[in-house]
C-alpha cells in the first residue's frame, strides 16, 4: 500500500491542478516505467506515459498541455492497474485533457477532440448514442468526409446501423448535462 | 433462488452489437435467468464523457442505476464491457467519495440508491454450478481464443473481476459448454476501442497484433465480450488483412453466441449473418 502524503505537492501549477481535478499525486511516481512499458499506444505518443508524469513533476506545463499523449490514450487502464505506486495514470490523462480544454488549448490530436465533442453533443440531444447522427457530426467537424465510407456502407447493408434515432430519455439527459455544467461552474 | 437482473443493454447492443443482445437474451432464456430491460435507460457517456467531465461521466451511468432501483432491482447486468466499467466506476466513486456522491445526486436531482450491484454476464454464468449440464449441441471443431479486452478486469481495484492480467471466466464457461479454449498471451491487450473512429491506424496495428497471436496459437475463432472489440476484430479484419498482406479468416463471436449454439439455438436465430467474417464454413464443419 502506498502512503499518500498529499501535503507534498510539487511547485508545478499543472501538477496541482491535476491533483485538484483527479486526486492523483504525480509525486508518488518513482519512474519505474511500468506504465510506459505496458501502454499499447506508447509507440505513437510523443511522450510515453511515464515521461508525461515526469514532465508534470518538473513543471513543464506547456509541454504536457500540448502533448499528443493524453489524446492518444485509449483509456485501457493498463498503466493504472500496474503502477506499483498506485498512481492512477489513466485518470491523470483524463485530468490533463480536461484542464487543457478548460484553458483553451487545442487538442494536439484534433480528430479526438472533435470526436469527443461530436459524441457528447449527440448524447446530450438524443439521450442515447445515435451512431449515424454522430458520424455525420464527426465528419462535419473533421471534414474527413470519406473516411470509413466503405465500411459504413457495409455496416449499413448488414443492418448494423440503426436508421432512426431513439429519443428515449433525451429531455432527462439534456437536463443532466445542464445541471452538471451549473455545478461545475459553482465549483 | 431465481434472482432477477435489471438489464442495461447500452447503445451498442441496440445497434452495431445487436447480435450480442440477441444471443445474451437467448442464453438467459435457455438457462432460466430472468432479465428485465431498464425502462428509459440512457447512454453511459463512455470515453467522451470521462475525457471531458468527471461529474458527467459518473452522473450519466448513475441515472441508469436509479432507474433500475425504481424497478425494485439491485442487480444490474451490463454485457458491454465499456458500459460495465462505467456503471461500476460510478457506483465505486460514489461509495468512496461522499462529496462526489452529493454532486451526482444534485446533477440527477434525486437521491442516489445505495448497494447497487453491477455485474457482467460472465459473472452470472460463471456462478451457475449447473451450467455444464446444460449444453445439448457439441461444437468439437472449435478452437477458441477468449479475448477479454481492457475494461472487464481493469482497473482491478474497481472491477473486482477475475484475475486482471490473465482472466479465466470466459474460458471456464465455454469449456463447461464443451468448447475448447486456448491459452494465449493477448487476453487483455487493448484493441484501441476508443480510437476506432479517429485514429484507425492505431486500431489496425493493435488489432493486427491480437489476430496474429490468436492465429499463432492455432485458434480458428475468437470469442469476445464487448461490442467495441467486436467491431475492431470482426468489422475491420478485412482492412487489417489488406494493410498487412495477410489472411486470417478468423470468425469473431460474442461468447454468448457460442453458448447459445451449444445450448441448441439455431445459427439463423442469432443473426450470425451480420458478422463481417463469415462463420458459415467454420460452423458447418462442426
Ligand atoms: S508505473 Fe507508476 S511509478 Fe512507474 S513510472 Fe508509471 S506512474 Fe511512475
Ligand atoms: S490507459 Fe492510456 S496511457 Fe494508460 S496504458 Fe492505456 S492507452 Fe496507455
Domain stop point among B83, B102, B122: B122
Cβ of residue A180 closer than 8 Å to a chain B Cβ: yes
**Would A155 be classed as within a structural domain?**
yes
Give the whole-angstrom CA distance, residue B194 versus residue B200. Answer: 10
pLDDT beneath 70, residues of chain B: 1-2, 285-286
Number of folded domains that form chain A? 2
Domain stop point among B65, B96, B122: B122
| A135 and A179 together in one domain | yes
Q: Is the pLDDT of residue A15 over 90?
A: yes
Q: How far does residue A25's CA lie from ligand 1's centre (Å)?
A: 11
**Would B179 be classed as within a structural domain?**
yes
pLDDT score, position A42: 96
**Would B80 be classed as within a structural domain?**
yes
| Residue B210: CATH number of its domain | 3.40.50.11810
- Name the residue among B157, B229, B155 with its Cα closest to residue B187: B229
| Residue B43: CATH number of its domain | 1.20.1050.140
Give the residue numbers spanning the domain of A119: 110-186
Nearest to A40 among B56, B154, B190 (CB): B190
Total beta-carbon pairs less than 8 A apart between chain A and chain B: 168
Residues 129-168, chain B, touching A (beta carbon < 8 A): 150-151, 154-156, 164-165
Does residue A39 line the site of ligand 2, with CB under 6 A? yes
Which of B57, B155, B237, B277 to mutate: most A Cβ within 10 Å? B155
Q: How far does residue A72's CA lie from ligand 2's centre (Å)?
A: 8
**φ, ψ for residue B252, nearest 5 deg:** -115, 115
Does residue A100 line the site of ligand 1, with CB under 6 A? no
Q: How far does residue A39's CA lie from ligand 2's centre (Å)?
A: 5
How much is the mean pLDDT over chain A?
Answer: 88
Determine the atom of ligand 2 nearest the C-alpha atom of A76. Answer: 6
Q: Is the pLDDT of residue A164 over 80?
A: no
* Structural contact between residues A34 and A84, judged by C-beta atoms closer than 8 angstroms: yes
| B159 and B278 together in one domain | yes
Instruction: Please judge whether A75 and B49 are an interchain contact, meaning their C-beta atoms are less than 8 angstroms apart.
Output: no
Residue in A closest to B104 by C-alpha: A180
Q: How far does residue B232's CA lie from ligand 2's centre (Å)?
A: 18
Cβ of residue A140 closer than 8 Å to a chain B Cβ: no
Specify the 3-state DSSP secondary structure of B195: helix
Number of folded domains that form chain B? 2
Rounded to whole angstroms, what are the CA distances from A153 to A19, A60, B66, B179? 45, 45, 37, 34
> Percent of chain A, pLDDT > 70?
90
Q: Of the residues A29, A37, A38, A89, which should be mutated to test ligand 2's pocket, given the most ligand atoms within 8 Å of the CB?
A: A89
Complex-level ipTM:
0.90
Rounded to whole angstroms, what are the CA distances from A128 to A134, B65, B103, B196, B275? 11, 16, 22, 19, 23
Instruction: Please judge whether A21 and B54 are an interchain contact, meaning their C-beta atoms are less than 8 angstroms apart.
Output: yes
Give the whole-angstrom CA distance, residue B137 versus residue B150. Answer: 31
Q: Is the pLDDT of residue A1 over 50?
A: no
Residue in B closest to A38 by C-alpha: B189
| A96 and A30 together in one domain | yes
* Structural contact between residues B69 and B116, judged by C-beta atoms closer than 8 angstroms: yes
**Would B128 be classed as within a structural domain?**
no
Average pLDDT over residues A170-185: 94
| B114 and B241 together in one domain | no
Q: How far does residue A73's CA lie from ligand 2's centre (Å)?
A: 5
| A89 and A141 together in one domain | no
Q: Which helix (H) or strand (E) holds B117?
A: strand B117-119
Q: Is the pLDDT of residue A84 over 60?
A: yes
**Would B12 be classed as within a structural domain?**
yes
Rounded to whole angstroms, what are the CA distances from A164 to B14, B20, B151, B179? 11, 20, 29, 38
Sheet holding B180-181, edge to edge: B180-181, B143-147, B221-224, B252-254
Instruction: Please judge whether A127 and B155 are an interchain contact, meaning their C-beta atoms are less than 8 angstroms apart.
Output: no
Q: Is residue A138 very low, low, confident or very high in pLDDT (cuts 50, 70, 90)?
A: confident
Q: Is the pLDDT of residue A148 over 50?
A: yes
Nearest to A169 among B40, B47, B51 (CB): B40
pLDDT digits (tens, 9 = 90+) for A28-58: 999 999 999 999 999 999 999 999 999 999 9
**Would A2 be classed as within a structural domain?**
no
pLDDT score, position A11: 58
Average pLDDT over residues A84-103: 97
Does residue A90 line the site of ligand 1, with CB under 6 A? no
pLDDT score, position A30: 97
**Would B255 be classed as within a structural domain?**
yes
- The DSSP result for A64-128, as a single string, is HHT-SHHHH-----HHHHH-TT---HHHHHHHHHHHHHHTTPPPSSHHHHHHHHHHHHHHHHHSS
Give the residue numbers spanning the domain of B40: 4-122
Whose cell is 445497434? That residue is B15
**Would A4 be classed as within a structural domain?**
no
Q: What angle do CA B206, A22, A34 make, to 5 degrees?
A: 40
| Residue A91: CATH number of its domain | 1.10.1060.10
Give the whole-angstrom CA distance, residue A97 versus residue A74. Answer: 13
**Would A16 be classed as within a structural domain?**
yes
Amino acid at each position: 500500500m502506498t502512503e499518500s502524503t498529499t501535503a507534498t505537492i510539487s511547485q508545478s501549477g499543472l501538477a496541482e491542478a491535476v491533483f485538484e481535478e483527479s486526486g492523483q499525486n504525480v509525486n508518488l511516481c518513482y519512474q519505474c516505467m511500468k506504465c510506459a512499458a505496458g501502454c499499447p499506444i506508447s509507440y505513437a505518443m510523443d511522450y510515453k506515459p511515464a515521461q508525461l508524469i515526469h514532465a508534470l513533476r518538473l513543471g513543464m506545463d506547456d509541454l504536457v498541455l500540448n502533448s499528443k499523449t493524453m489524446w492518444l490514450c485509449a483509456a485501457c487502464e493498463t498503466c493504472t492497474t500496474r503502477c506499483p505506486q498506485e498512481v492512477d495514470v489513466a485518470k491523470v490523462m483524463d485530468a490533463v485533457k480536461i484542464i487543457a480544454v478548460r484553458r483553451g488549448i487545442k487538442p494536439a490530436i484534433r480528430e479526438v477532440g472533435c470526436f469527443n465533442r461530436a459524441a457528447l453533443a449527440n448524447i446530450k440531444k438524443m439521450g442515447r448514442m445515435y451512431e449515424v447522427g454522430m458520424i455525420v457530426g464527426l465528419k462535419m467537424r473533421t471534414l474527413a468526409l470519406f473516411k470509413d465510407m466503405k465500411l459504413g456502407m457495409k455496416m449499413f447493408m448488414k443492418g448494423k446501423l440503426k436508421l432512426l434515432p431513439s429519443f428515449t430519455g433525451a429531455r432527462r439527459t439534456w437536463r443532466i448535462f445542464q445541471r452538471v455544467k451549473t455545478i461545475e461552474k459553482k465549483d | 433462488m431465481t434472482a432477477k437482473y435489471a438489464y442495461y443493454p447500452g447503445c451498442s447492443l441496440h445497434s452495431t452489437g445487436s447480435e450480442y443482445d440477441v444471443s445474451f437474451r437467448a442464453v438467459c432464456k435457455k438457462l432460466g435467468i430472468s432479465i428485465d430491460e431498464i425502462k428509459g435507460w440512457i447512454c453511459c457517456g463512455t470515453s467522451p464523457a470521462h475525457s471531458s467531465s468527471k461529474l458527467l461521466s459518473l452522473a450519466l451511468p448513475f441515472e441508469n442505476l436509479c432507474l433500475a432501483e425504481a424497478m425494485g432491482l439491485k442487480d444490474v447486468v451490463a454485457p458491454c464491457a465499456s458500459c460495465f466499467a462505467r456503471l461500476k466506476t460510478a457506483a465505486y466513486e460514489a461509495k468512496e467519495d461522499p462529496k462526489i456522491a452529493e454532486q451526482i445526486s444534485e446533477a440527477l436531482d434525486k437521491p442516489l440508491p445505495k448497494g447497487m450491484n453491477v455485474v457482467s454476464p460472465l459473472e452470472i454464468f460463471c456462478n451457475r454450478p449447473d451450467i455444464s449440464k446444460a449444453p445439448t449441441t457439441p461444437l468439437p471443431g472449435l478452437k477458441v481464443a477468449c479475448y477479454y479486452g481492457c475494461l472487464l478486469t481493469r482497473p482491478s481495484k474497481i472491477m473486482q473481476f477475475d484475475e486482471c492480467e490473465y482472466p479465466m471466466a470466459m474460458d471456464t464457461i465455454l469449456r463447461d459448454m464443451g468448447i475448447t479454449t486456448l491459452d494465449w498471451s493477448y487476453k487483455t491487450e487493448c484493441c484501441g476501442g476508443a480510437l476506432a473512429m479517429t485514429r484507425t491506424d492505431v486500431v489496425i496495428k493493435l488489432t493486427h497484433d491480437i489476430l496474429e497471436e490468436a492465429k499463432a496459437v492455432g485458434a480458428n475463432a475468437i470469442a469476445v465480450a464487448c461490442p467495441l472489440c467486436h467491431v475492431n476484430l470482426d468489422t475491420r479484419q478485412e482492412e487489417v488483412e489488406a494493410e498487412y498482406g495477410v489472411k486470417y479468416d478468423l470468425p469473431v463471436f460474442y461468447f454468448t453466441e457460442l453458448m447459445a449454439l451449444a445450448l441448441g439455438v439455431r445459427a439463423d436465430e442469432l443473426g450470425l449473418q451480420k458478422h463481417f467474417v463469415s462463420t458459415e464454413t467454420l460452423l458447418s464443419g462442426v
